Amino acid sequence: MTQEASASHTAHDRLFKEFLHRFLPDFLEVFFPDIAAHLDLGSYKPIGNELIANLPHAKMRIADFVAEVETLDGEEEIILVHIEVEARQLVTLPYRMFEYFTLLRALRGKRVLPLALTLIPNSGGLTWKTYDEDLFGQPLIRFLYGQVGLPDLPASEYFDADHPAIAALTALMDAGDMHPAEVKLEGYRSVWDSDLTEGDKLFLINLISTYLPMETIPEPGGEVMVVLRDIEMTWLERVRLEMEEEIKDKVKEEMEKEMRKAKEEMEEEMRKAQDEIREEIEKETKLEMARGLLGILDEPLISQLTGLPLEDILAMKRDQEKMERGNGDSAKNLP
């Protein structure tokens, strides 16, 4: 794989993993409604890039998207929804889907719903695919997985007001009689007019513009391109404003954090200085009291009363006696 192809594959993976992380319920409700009816879609919990296995002498397997979902029917159960995004080749996909299924089933101990999302034309649209194995003419395995081949689906059927996230995927679907600019405009409108959060809207607008960039769309004539450019300018302005707000909030947060830190450090320094001054004053006061008690009380009692070490009291007494002797000698030498 060339470096450019690898980068493109990584971009596809990143976009669609994020899409499924945000909009798994929409994906299942639209493409697999019969299955979605048996699931508590509000309970879904993505578990990220699920490392399945690193078996000896085998390629490490990392699933694109895995989520835990609770069931609605019968005894309460948590199943795994595994979705693989394929943008390069279909030849090895059936076996890989079977391999992921068996590994997840064995290692996680939960039932698995295996699905594939393909970005490759002529992959069959919305269908169930099989992986079969036989031995000496005897069928051994017949494994099924659901597949959504976006390029083979008619874009005109997926501009659903109830599922604006799926409307964004029409950028990769078959435009049919629609002009690509019309597909893009309808996708934008479905997203803008929805009740999605601003963050979700911006994500979907970016997805549409990624797969239907303006420079690849032929001029349809009329007002379509004008409206499209206005929407994209509005979108870019929103992104710019959101980035400015995010930067302001970050700067404010960091400044407040630094000010709190500086204040705490200053208060700590003041406490230390106050403690040092207090300790010095207390020590000088005790020393003064001890000097006044020398000759009146014995040294151990002075130490007990002042809290000063006995060694300090004895040293003070020796210094005092030495000073007194020096003063006496000076007096004798006077004329």
Q: Is the model's pLDDT at 8 over the cut of 60?
A: no
Given a cut of 80, is residue 216 above it in pLDDT?
Answer: no
Domains of the chain by residue range: 3-153, 294-329
pTM of the entire predicted model: 0.66
Residue 316: CB atoms within 10 Å: 17
Mean pLDDT, the chain, whole residue set = 84
Contact between 84 and 96 under an 8 Å Cβ cutoff? The reply is yes
Render pLDDT for 299-325 as a digit per residue (tens, 0 to 9): 888 888 888 888 888 888 888 878 777
Q: Which residues contact 3 (CB under 8 A, 6 or more apart)?
A: none
First to last CA, the chain: 112
Confidence of residue 58 (pLDDT cuts 50, 70, 90): low
Instruction: Provide the pLDDT for residue 306.
Output: 84
- Using the predicted structure, report yes or no on whether residue 334 has a pLDDT greater than 60: no
CA distance to 54, 99, 166, 177, per residue, from 185 (Å): 45, 40, 14, 15
Report pLDDT for 120. Answer: 92
pLDDT digits (tens, 9 = 90+) for 132-155: 999 999 999 999 999 999 999 999
Q: What is the pLDDT of residue 115?
A: 97
Question: Residue ranges of the alpha helices (H) in the chain?
Answer: 3-31, 33-36, 93-108, 164-168, 180-192, 198-211, 224-293, 299-306, 310-332
User: What's the average model confidence in pLDDT over 231-240?
Assistant: 66
Residue range 190-214: mean pLDDT, rounded: 87
Share of the chain above pLDDT 90, in %: 36
Kindly state the DSSP code that residue 125 receives in the 8-state scheme. Answer: S
The band of 53, judged by pLDDT with boundaries at 50, 70 and 90, is low
pLDDT tens digits along 92-143: 899 999 999 998 998 889 999 999 999 999 998 999 999 999 999 999 999 9
**Can you tell me the distance from the alpha carbon of 72 to that of 79, in angstroms, rounded to the nearest whole number?**
11
Instruction: Please calculate the CA angle 10-15-17 and round it to the nearest 5 degrees.
Output: 90
